[in-house]
Each structure stands twice: as C-alpha cells, then as structure tokens.
Amino acid sequence: MKQIMILTAAVLLLLPLYANAQPEVPIEEWTGKTILLVGAHPDDDAGRHGTLAMLQENGNDVYIMLLTNGNVGTRDRKMTRQRLEKIRRHEQLNAMNHIGLPAENYINLGYTDGMVEFADKEELVKRMVWWYRKLQPDVLIAFEPGYRYQRWHKADHRAAAYLAVDAARAAEWHLIFPEHLHQEGLEPVRINEYMFWGSEGNNMTVDISDYREQKIQSRMAYLSQFSETGRSNYPGNSEDYFMTLDDLPAEERRAYMDRFRNSTGDTESFRYYRGAPDGVGSGPALGQREY
Ligand SMILES: [Zn+2]
C-alpha cells in the first residue's frame, strides 16, 4: 500500500513534466509562429536545417541569431579574420537560402569567435534581449544548456547555451533593461516554448524527410568549415572570392558530397519544453530517461 502511495505521488509530481514535454499542436502543423534559433557560430544551426526549412515553408517566421562572426575558425595560415568573417557570412546566407530563409532573417551580433565568454555579459544579454523584444518569438531553439556540461562543452557553445535562456528570462521583465521600453517602444516578451539540440533528454523527433535534400545542400555550403581544402588552404587571393564545390579536387569533392548525403538523416531530435523560462532546467536528469 505504501509503495502504491509513493508511486501515485511520484506520478502526480511528474505529470506536469510530461504534460509540458510536448507541444499542444504537433510541430508539423505549426503556422504563424515566430521562431528564433540562437547559436554561437555560422554553422551551429546546420544540424537543425530540416526543421527550420519545414517551419519556414509552413508559414512561420524563422530567424537565426548567431553571437560570433566565426572569424577564427581556420587552419589556413594565410587567412585573416576580416576575410574569414566575410566568407562565413557568405556561407551562412548561402546555406539559409537553400532552406528558404531570407538574408534579413539572419542576425549576427559580431563577437569574435572563441571569445564569447570574455565579452561584457551585461552588454551581450542586453543586445540579445533587445532582439527578443523586437522579434517577440513564440519559440526559442538553442543549445541544450545541460549538454555534457559536467564533462566539458566548447566555450562559445557553453556561453551561448546559457545566454540564450538567460536572455529569455530577462526579456519578460519590464524593469530589466527598461530603456528598451521607454526609449525604443519595445515590449517585454515571455517565450513559452523551447527546443534544445544536443540534448541527452530528447523528447521530440521531427520528420524532416521532405526537407532532407535542402538540408544536404545547406550543410554543404559551409565549405570553409567542413572541407579539408576550405579549412586548411582556402582558395583564391581576393578578399571577395568565395570558394565553391568546384574548387575541391575531384576526389575530395566526391567524398565531400557523399559524406553529407550519407550523414543527413530523415529526423532531427530536440528536448522540447513548454512553460516559463524559469523551468527550462527542470525535468528528469539528462541522460537518464527519455519521456
Ligand atoms: Zn559552433
């Protein structure tokens, strides 16, 4: 009897977690929503491009906000930060074009790659909150804040994961950064839905099979990051030259295209959470159970 009571109590306690673990309307039927993805680098979003393509095509407004311009991600000793920043913007817009997202839906806060943790945090959160209030998103997509944090999680990703949710928390309180309201006419926003990637507590699987081709193309756009030639010996001497697949030696090009075709699956997974930003970290311990 006592065991039954404990079990009943446990079920009742966990019930709200289960109830909040799925969207009220299946994601495939979402329309008219504003969706904001926050990441650290141009390409952090790439693994979610099937879902973003679907959401955009279904009549939602999808925005991508990245904290850094990606200006140090190279092993090419001839590369400069200025040129790489241009290359990565070009790649990002090219990738977004493949999934139907216009250039005006790309926001880059311009921080130096690898240095987000050392940026002025109040200023950074304030800028993020400004965008949250401006866009009034219904859904925030971001790195899972708990992802492997106990071991180690790449510095910018660790910072971006926390900052994305910290800014969501701040954005709903009108007395935090009140100048946004008084000087710029913005309104607070309470974001009620979250989708985290890289989670060990995934509870949402999105069928992206109809968008797989677009995702393959968009992922291949990040040539400076994902190809050996682009990473170590970026072709062209002009600041304004952007490499294409044709710049890859034939064998590397074939392997590159095969790699994305073989590694792009029919689904994308997230930890979905619905509720106040304060509760984002609640739920079963990561890595222990799925629900
Ligand atoms: Zn990254």
Confidence at residue 46, expressed as pLDDT on a 0 to 100 scale: 98
C-alpha 46 to ligand 1 mean position (Å): 10
Confidence at residue 291, expressed as pLDDT on a 0 to 100 scale: 41
Among 39-53, 92-106, 125-139, 276-290, which is the least confidently predicted range? 276-290
Beta strands in the chain (DSSP E): 34-39, 61-68, 106-111, 139-143, 193-197, 204-207, 267-274
C-alpha 111 to ligand 1 mean position (Å): 13
The mean pLDDT value for 247-264 works out to 98
Confidence at residue 239, expressed as pLDDT on a 0 to 100 scale: 87
C-alpha 157 to ligand 1 mean position (Å): 6
**Tokens (6 digits) for 289:** 């159970």
CB of 188 closer than 8 Å to CB of 171: yes
C-alpha 171 to ligand 1 mean position (Å): 24
C-alpha 5 to ligand 1 mean position (Å): 47
19-32 per-position pLDDT tens digit: 568 899 999 999 99
C-alpha 89 to ligand 1 mean position (Å): 14
CB of 275 closer than 8 Å to CB of 10: no
At 290, the pLDDT band (50, 70, 90 cuts) reads very low
50-86 per-position pLDDT tens digit: 999 999 999 999 999 999 999 999 999 999 999 999 9
C-alpha 143 to ligand 1 mean position (Å): 10
C-alpha 135 to ligand 1 mean position (Å): 23
Taking the C-alpha atoms of residue 55 and residue 208, their distance in angstroms, rounded to an integer, is 10
| CA 119 to each of CA 90, 147, 155, 159, 241: distance values in angstroms, whole numbers, following the listed order | 25, 22, 12, 10, 30
| Residue found under tokens 């987000």 | 116
Residues in contact with 18: Cβ distance below 8 Å, sequence separation at least 6, in sequence order: 291
Confidence at residue 237, expressed as pLDDT on a 0 to 100 scale: 84
Confidence at residue 154, expressed as pLDDT on a 0 to 100 scale: 80
CB of 55 closer than 8 Å to CB of 34: no
Quickly count: other Cβ atoms within 10 Å of residue 18's Cβ.
Answer: 12
Q: Which candidate, 106, 73, 65, places its Cα nearest to that of 230?
A: 73
CB of 255 closer than 8 Å to CB of 249: no
Taking the C-alpha atoms of residue 42 and residue 45, their distance in angstroms, rounded to an integer, is 7
Confidence at residue 257, expressed as pLDDT on a 0 to 100 scale: 98
Confidence at residue 135, expressed as pLDDT on a 0 to 100 scale: 98
**Tokens (6 digits) for 39:** 């990441």
Residue 286 has pLDDT above 70, yes or no: no
142-166 per-position pLDDT tens digit: 999 876 555 566 888 888 989 999 9
C-alpha 39 to ligand 1 mean position (Å): 7
Pick the CATH number of 13-215+267-277 from 3.40.50.10320, 3.40.366.10, 3.30.1130.10, 3.30.930.10: 3.40.50.10320
Confidence at residue 155, expressed as pLDDT on a 0 to 100 scale: 84
200-215 per-position pLDDT tens digit: 889 999 999 999 999 9
φ/ψ region of 31 (left if φ > 0, alpha if ψ in -120 to 50, else beta) reads: beta
